Each structure stands twice: as C-alpha cells, then as structure tokens.
Amino acid sequence: MTKRPAGRNRVPAPAYAVVIPTLGRPSLTACLAALAQARGPAPHRIVLVDDRPLTDCAPLPVEIPATLRDRTETVHGYGDGPAAARNAGWRAVDGVPWVVFLDDDVVPGPRWAEDLADDLRAATARTAGVAARISVPLPAGREPTDWERNTAGLATAKWITADMAFRRAALADVGGFDERFRRAFREDADLALRLLDAGWELAQGRRRTTHPVRPADRWVSVRLQAGNADDVLMNRLHGRGWWRRAQAPRGRLPGHLAVTAAAGGALVCAALGRRRAALGLAAGWLAGTAEFAWARIAPGPRTRDEVATMALTSALIPPVATAHWLRGLVRHRGVAPAAVPAGPVPVAAGPRPARERI
C-alpha cells in the first residue's frame, strides 16, 4: 500500500483551476460527475472552453453537478483546435497558481483531488507541470483492436494534456500552447520541450485518471495521418532529435514514403510501357502493404471485420501519410526555431475578447 505523505492535512493545498476544452461530447457529463465525486480539495474554478464552430449557437449539452455549478463557467473558443482552446481557458483564470487541463473524455479517479493536492505540494519552485497516471481500460477476453491499441498508447505517453497540471506562471513564461498545432496532437510535446528549454522542470504525479476508448469508425486510422504535418512543424521548431527528447515513438513515415514511391513509380513505368520495371515496383508496393497490414492484424482479435479494416486502411495510410507530410513541408517551410525563441507567436497576457456566435 502506498504510504501517504505525513502532514498532508497540515499543509494547505495550492489553489487550482480545471480547464476542459470540449466539443460537447456526452463524455463531458461523466468527466464532471467524476470530478465532483473525487475526494479532496475542490477546484477553485472550472472553465469549460466551448470549441465548437461559432456558427453552432446551441448551449453545451452537459449536466453540471450541483456541487460544481457555482464555480463552473463556459468561455467560447474559436473552433481553432485544442491548443487555442486551452490558451483561452488558462488565460481566463488569472490569480490561480495552478491550472489542470483535462480532456472531456477522461474520468478522474475517486481520490483524484486528494492526490492532485499531494502532487502540487510536492512541486518545487521550478516545477512547471505535473503529469497524471493515465490508464486505458481494454476489453477482457480478446486481443485489442488497432484503434484500442492506439488509444492504449496514452498510458505511456509523456506530458499528455489528457490530465496535466501546469503552473500558470510557467505557461505565461513561454506563451502557452502554440496555436499552429490545430489538432489534438504534438501540441503537448511542443509545450513540454519549450518549458524544459526555458529551464523549467516536469514531474510525474500520483493521481490517476482513466481514459476510456471512445467509439470510432473503421477509417479513424486514416484520418490520424494528418498528424504527419504536425511532425514537420515539430522538426522545424525542435530539430529532428525531438523524438528522443519527448520520448515519443518515431512512427512508420519512412516506410510509408517508400511504399508510396513504389506505387507511384509502378504507375509511371506502366504508363511509359516499361512493364518489367512496373511489375517490380508493384511487387514492392504489395510486399510493403502486406507487411504493414500484418503488423496491425497479428496482435489484434483477427475478426473478419478487423482484418477487412486493416487490409483496406493499410493500403490507404501510406499515400495519405505522404500527402500530409508534403502538406506540412509546404505549410511550415518558413518556420525556424529562431522565430519562436521561448514560446509560440507572442500573445497578450489576458483572455481573448469575446466574440459573438452567429
């Protein structure tokens, strides 16, 4: 049994606010319910950042627990993605020393607030952030699907904002999240590296949060390839060694580029009448695609639907990943580390002005 720190009740817990960017998913109600039930000091404020498009005028479809209503407010995002939404959230809680970012689909544990208080008490003056311990429940009685394994990777990911507490002064020091990251991908690693470069420290906490596997259609893995453009931005900002510093998996982009090149070359050779070269390149494409598909099928449940999904998406992923990588090269061609010495594009210290939904 883990020993609790002596004197935990004698040392006041630092005040904290909770910021939850949301698109109004049903899981937000479950997240807030778990937050209300967690034992320990309650958040000073809760800020829900409504990041739906400004054309969506409907109220957030959420049930806020009675014990949290007097400290919960909603601010409007701009539909610019989670990085911008989190910036809007933490800038709205001036005067609170710590800001805890939660995703709207996580479930804080029963001792979450109590353990968070311990995490913040243990922080040194140079601690910029304290990560939670994330668990991803997987189905019993069968092997996980490719999507379930992908989500399970959050349990070992570093500094993910599914549940991450940041010192507000540290966020202000580096300018917060870089809003050029428009998706829920790499914006957390970018912030962590900038904080470390600025002399801050990051710590692992003890609080526990569950991240359920949310439902997804069979094409989700293809859509996720948009992250290859964000990796180009990370390369521009932090150099090619950022993978090791952020302890992030390297991914299969080199293989995807080779498989896509083989497919393109086969088509060109066929059009030029070079049949032997076309067949050789086509064989290379087929072998690469088959290897990729089997690497995803082998550890899974191998049901008919899963095998069909892996076969289809394994053929599509390499060219889609390549297209997003090329898009990133074009879009971020002018970005250099010198352009953002201590943080992203300079921003004002206060919250962004409200904008009416239309």
Q: How far apart are CA 42 and CA 104, in angstroms?
A: 18
Helix, coil or strand: residue 98: strand
Pairing type for strands 201-210 and 127-135 reads: parallel
Q: How many CB atoms lie within 10 A of CB 156?
A: 11
Q: What is the pTM of this model?
A: 0.88
Q: What is the pLDDT of residue 339?
A: 42
- Give per-residue burial for 44-74: e unless 16+ CB within 10 Å, then b: bbbbbbbbbeeeeeeebebebeeebeeebeb
User: What pLDDT shows up at residue 340?
Assistant: 41
For residue 358, what is the DSSP state? -
Question: What is the DSSP track for 262-317?
Answer: HHHHHHHHHHTT-HHHHHHHHHHHHHHHHHHHHHHHTTS---HHHHHHHHHHHHHH
Give pLDDT, residue 45: 97
- Residues 6+ away with beta carbon under 8 Å from 4: 118
Q: Computed over its alpha carbons, how large is the radius of gyration of the chain?
A: 22
Mean pLDDT by 10 residues, the chain (358 residues): 52 92 94 97 96 82 95 90 95 95 97 97 97 96 96 93 97 96 94 96 97 96 97 95 90 96 97 96 98 98 98 98 97 74 38 34
pLDDT score of 354: 37
295 exposed, middle or buried (CB, 10 Å; 0-12, 13-18, 19+)?
Answer: middle
- In whole angstroms, give the CA distance from residue 255 to residue 12: 53
Q: According to the model, what pLDDT value does residue 57 have?
A: 73
Q: Which fold is adopted by the domain 16-216? A: Spore Coat Polysaccharide Biosynthesis Protein SpsA; Chain A (3.90.550)
| Residue extents of the structural domains in the chain | 16-216, 253-339
- Asked if residue 167 lies in contact with residue 130, where contact means CB atoms within 8 angstroms, the answer is no
What's the rounded Cα separation, in Å, for the pair 242 and 248? 8
pLDDT for 13: 85
Separation CA 245–CA 243 (nearest Å): 6
Please report the pLDDT score of residue 348 as a whole number.
34
CA dihedral 41, 66, 78, 166 (to 10 degrees): 0
